[in-house]
Structure 1
Amino acid sequence: MNSSGPPPAADGPLPGPGGPLPDHGSPLPGPGGPRRDALADRAGYDEAFLGPVVPLPLPVRDTVGTVILPYTHFTVVFRPDRRLAASTAVCIEGRELLEDVPREDIWEFDPRLPDEQQAGGELYRNNSLDRGHLVRRLDPVWGSAAVAARANTDTFHYTNAAPQADVFNQGKQLWQGLENYLLDHAAEFDRKLTVLTGPVLQDSDPPYRGFQVPLRFWKVAAFLQDGALAASAYVLDQSPDLSRDAERALAGATPGAPPPLGPFRTYQVPVSDVAELTELEFGPLPDVDVMPQARGPEERWRRLESYGDIVLHP
């Protein structure tokens, strides 16, 4: 087992561009229209999906005007100042997942926000960055065929994307399969999961095309264990590999090129560390963490080489 200490906490919120933004939880203003009407009936994330309440992760202090965007079976807490999500939350009903829903890969702006407040195609065009789903495409795709198809389409809004390295390595494979692994271990509890995900947004994130590219992502899964609420947290790190690319990483990327992202490294971490990194509120989840508390920071982050390294019992 390899271990690594946690990165430094975020330096604080960035100033938002433009005029005032709605407070989180406020109704979204703006004119109607076909595209807006198409999203008007979305119920979003259900905090009581598991039985015990798992609240939507909101900023402890919202100084930038986050906006809540409900979709089918999931919700995005969006930061227009960064043009990226601060957090997402999805309900996964494992018994009803429909894996044969076609993948369309047609990304759209959410019409409930101005296009200029979202990170659209200009961020990803003609470079090595992927549009990384925050809510994984298959996670909300359950229920009737019509509802599942709508959920699939909903995940292809730019509000549910963040730039990620296009390399595919073991760390990325582990990250993308976490929900499946956890669902398998929740089989006796009706295969239900609540998954909270987002980027770690820091002032030090490298700039690119007028955006800032997050170097880390987090995921917190909540489930029932022995009939009680339990949680497990993870961090995906795509920071530059200084041992291989030190000169470019330290000197800055070639003008016009994206930041030199490294291969993905996946860690299991305490839920409380994710709360500290993100400055988000996770309700009861830090107190029901299945990962045993370690004394030093270097012992708290568990580098995952395989799913067998995951701790799911205190």
Structure 2
Amino acid sequence: MVPIETGTRGGHMGVKLGELMAAAQRYVDYKAHQRVDPQAAAIERMHLGLRNARDFTSKSDRLNVLANAVLQQPQAAALVAGVPPPLLDPAVAIPEALFADNDLRPVRYLQIALLAARAVGKLTVRGMVDEEGDATGFLVAPGLLMTNHHVLPDATYASVSFVAFDQEDDVDGRPKTPKLFDLLPRQLYVSDKELDYCLVAVSPKTSQDEPLSQFGYLRLFEETGKVDPNRRQAANIIQHPLGQGKKVALRDNYFEEPPKDALDALGAQNSLFYGTDTLKGSSGSPVCTDEWYVVALHRGGVPKVATKKGQRVVLRRDGTPAREGDAKRSIQYETNEGTRVSRIYASLKAKVAMGGTDAGPAAQALERMLAVAQDPSVGPVERATHPLVVPPTEAEGEAGVEEKLVRKPLDFVQGPGYQPGFLGAGFQVALPSLSSEVRKEVAPLKDGSGHVLNYLHYSLVVNAERRTAFFAACNVDGRQLWKVVHPGTSVGKRPTAWGTDPRMDEKFQPDDSIFSTAVQRGHLFKREDASWGADDELRQRSDLQSFMIANATPMFADFNNNEWGNLEDIVSRHVMSGRRVSYFAGPIFSVDDPYFNELKAGVPASLKRQGMRVPTRFWKIVAWVEAGRLQAAGFVLDQSDEIREHGPITEEIDFGSYRPRPIKEIQSRTGLKFPKLVAADTFAQAAVPRQ
């Protein structure tokens, strides 16, 4: 997730702490709202799931969705009135159950996405010279555009603004010719600062007489239930980040559980939260489900906050308190926020009821929006479309006959492996020695030659029982990295499959069937770091070798892409300056680690404690030479929480908000011994004690 935009107009070049704190408080209130009475929450969750199945799901998919909801909330199912018992009987529903995170989509999914994307345009305010000059907007009815209040805070700003459609590349890679339409706030303009929305009329034609109607619109349905709380669902955003050509975020982008209106007596839960990538300029974008129904208006990122000296403060990316006017890119964010479509409807109706200057424009906006959004079955775009069918994955009782994806061995698996003397003469850093407990659990090589899998630039030792590497030991030469030698180019096509290593029995290597967009294959040796060598052939071979399945460990998407990925990026930036680095990384195995089946929807209790287990904690130790001395830093990261501690770092490798942990602590948790690095632990005195 990359939410790095939020802000207001008025020439203000940086952040306003009051607005950031307000966003953070909304997120705090949302999380408190989610901790309501469990039984009441389960009933409301069931109601929303049923509404989703009734109004926003294809008929062929409806039974699967209902069944999955029952499996998620069996106690609530018995309490939901007005539903025929056979449909909600778990004994009937189980054979049709969906498992979570099915990534299969019909090709029509992409066709509807293109229809939805037509209605999204880039907003520009003429004459603006500050960083708020570009944003996104989208058509919600013929001649009616929606964006944020902070983009167009009044009719004056709207009167000097225009929206450009077709600002994107064509299939041949050449830019299309943008079509520019003026905004007409004198005809209709209504906005709300608290909910951060704005609706404004758009000219029906360009100055070249091209019609606005060719771009269609996205229907806004007032009903809730477009996001089913019983399934993990994607938040897809069509946007113009940084004022660039139109882009869409489709991967690793999940909604947090939607608020429960029946338990929100004060009507305070106005936002949805999600982990989709956005940038400055994405404000005003439509937030869509995988069926392409608009559920929210994207408004910005929610900052990370902490208590410092008794006060709650917004944090910068380096862990220090933010100040008024800081650059937006310096702020640390933890999620994204959008205003719910249902609450925008409620706000417009309230303006009509209250009278005043906003009543007329609000009534006009409601009339236009409702005229095209009465029946969800017509689909999310101006052209009638049937709901998308999401095929179910394996059904209960059919696991024995399902087809499994088999990974083939990649070429060039051999190599010298990790080099202890890589950092230079006098700075030997050996592979960690193994405790007696660890030695009992290592997976052997087939030829009996030992237990270390060596590749070009890294080595692995695998835990036979857990089917996951104890550690990866890696060398990186920044002077020979592909992205340094060939800046701005890609090392090559990503392999279509991760490879199994023929030197080790597959039963000891990770079970590839557990991975999806939810539980990803987390590189222990990062792909970008692996792609180095004396020539392009070696760089490409080493890139391929990073995709050995033994180098993958189960990581939840948000953790892999954020906490773990950000720490990897810090190391990569240091290496790209031409330095050499050796590092070690792996999971901390615990008896409390959940089985994958425990995380999977619809698995019977008798099968839950089977299969691979998913580590909850990971460690990394980085070693480098600075000023003629061996330096080292250790880190422990947790998949189930955000990084818990932050502190400023002054050494040459700036680890930002990642607070080092004593390498001795990593030794005690893993059973691996790093005597040379314990002695060189740069942060041992400053590191926080083990909790």
Q: Is the shorter-chain TM-score for this pair beyond 0.5, marking a shared fold?
A: yes
% identical equivalent positions: 29
Name the SS of the counterpart of 2:441 in structure 1. Answer: coil
Q: Which residue of 1 aligns with 2:527?
A: 137
Name the SS of the counterpart of 2:530 in structure 1. Answer: coil
- Which residue type is aligned with residue 50 of structure 1? L
Name the SS of the counterpart of 2:558 in structure 1. Answer: coil
CA distance in 2, matches of 1:103, 1:238: 29
CA shift for structure 1 position 175:
2.0
Q: 2:423 aligns with which of 38, 44, 50?
A: 50
Q: Which residue of 1 aligns with 2:441?
A: 64
Asked if structure 1 preserves the Cα contact closer than 8 Å seen for 2:631 and 2:681, the reply is yes
- Pairing 1:2-41 to 2, within 5 Å after superposition: 38-39=412-413, 41=414
- Which residue type is aligned with residue 140 of structure 1? A
CA shift for structure 1 position 37:
7.9
Q: Which residue of 1 aligns with 2:632?
A: 231
CA shift for structure 1 position 240:
5.5
Q: 1:213 aligns with which of 598, 601, 614?
A: 614
1:119 matched to 2:520: no
State the 4+ residue runs in structure 1 displaced beyond 3 angstroms: 34-38, 299-302
CA shift for structure 1 position 181:
3.9
CA distance in 2, matches of 1:69, 1:146: 21
1:84 matched to 2:468: yes
Q: Which residue of 2 aligns with 1:256?
A: none
Asked if structure 2 preserves the Cα contact closer than 8 Å seen for 1:91 and 1:193, the reply is yes
- Which residue type is aligned with residue 111 of structure 1? P
CA distance in 1, matches of 2:306, 2:452: 37
Bigger RCO of structures 1 and 2 (CA < 8 A, at least 6 apart): 1
Q: Which residue of 1 aligns with 2:689?
A: 300
Q: 1:75 aligns with which of 455, 459, 473?
A: 459
CA distance in 2, matches of 1:48, 1:156: 25
Name the SS of the counterpart of 2:528 in structure 1. Answer: coil
Aligned residues: 240
Name the SS of the counterpart of 2:527 in structure 1. Answer: coil
Asked if structure 1 preserves the Cα contact closer than 8 Å seen for 2:477 and 2:575, the reply is no
Q: 2:518 aligns with which of 128, 148, 158?
A: 128
- Which residue type is aligned with residue 113 of structure 1? M
Q: Which residue of 1 aligns with 2:542?
A: 151
Asked if structure 2 preserves the Cα contact closer than 8 Å seen for 1:57 and 1:88, the reply is no
Name the SS of the counterpart of 1:95 in structure 2. Answer: helix
Q: Which residue of 2 aligns with 1:283?
A: 675
Asked if structure 1 preserves the Cα contact closer than 8 Å seen for 2:636 and 2:661, the reply is yes
Q: Which residue of 2 aligns with 1:95?
A: 479
CA shift for structure 1 position 221:
0.7
Q: Which residue of 1 aligns with 2:501?
A: 110
Q: Which residue of 2 aligns with 1:260?
A: none
Cα displacement string for residues 24-67 of structure 1 (whole angstroms, at most 9, x for unaligned residues) = xxxxxxxxxx959843x411111110121111124222122342
Asked if structure 1 preserves the Cα contact closer than 8 Å seen for 2:420 and 2:431, the reply is yes
CA distance in 1, matches of 2:553, 2:433: 18
CA distance in 2, matches of 1:170, 1:114: 32
Q: Which residue of 2 aligns with 1:178?
A: 570
CA distance in 2, matches of 1:2, 1:63: 43
CA distance in 2, matches of 1:38, 1:154: 7
Cα displacement string for residues 5-40 of structure 1 (whole angstroms, at most 9, x for unaligned residues) = xxxxxxxxxxxxxxxxxxxxxxxxxxxxx959843x
Instruction: Report the CA distance shift for 1:267/1:235 in structure 2 as closer, same or farther (over 3 A).
Output: farther
CA shift for structure 1 position 103:
4.2
CA shift for structure 1 position 228:
1.5
Higher helix share: 2
- Which residue type is aligned with residue 520 of structure 2? D
Asked if structure 1 preserves the Cα contact closer than 8 Å seen for 2:409 and 2:500, the reply is no
Instruction: Report the CA distance shift for 1:35/1:122 in structure 2 as closer, same or farther (over 3 A).
Output: closer
- Which residue type is aligned with residue 679 of structure 2? D
CA distance in 2, matches of 1:301, 1:182: 27
CA shift for structure 1 position 301:
6.6
Asked if structure 1 preserves the Cα contact closer than 8 Å seen for 2:462 and 2:508, the reply is no
- Which residue type is aligned with residue 131 of structure 1? R
Instruction: Report the CA distance shift for 1:157/1:110 in structure 2 as closer, same or farther (over 3 A).
Output: same
Name the SS of the counterpart of 2:453 in structure 1. Answer: strand
| Structure 1 gaps, min length 5 | 4-33, 242-264, 303-314
CA distance in 1, matches of 2:663, 2:572: 20
Cα displacement string for residues 247-274 of structure 1 (whole angstroms, at most 9, x for unaligned residues) = xxxxxxxxxxxxxxxxxx9542111111
CA distance in 1, matches of 2:684, 2:518: 38
Instruction: Report the CA distance shift for 1:267/1:158 in structure 2 as closer, same or farther (over 3 A).
Output: farther
Q: 1:197 aligns with which of 585, 595, 604?
A: 585
CA distance in 2, matches of 1:121, 1:279: 26
Asked if structure 2 preserves the Cα contact closer than 8 Å seen for 1:57 and 1:196, the reply is no
Q: Which residue of 1 aligns with 2:553?
A: 162
Q: Which residue of 2 aligns with 1:306?
A: none
CA shift for structure 1 position 177:
1.0
Asked if structure 2 preserves the Cα contact closer than 8 Å seen for 1:220 and 1:231, the reply is yes
Q: Which has the larger radius of gyration?
A: 2
Superposed CA RMSD in Å reads 2.7
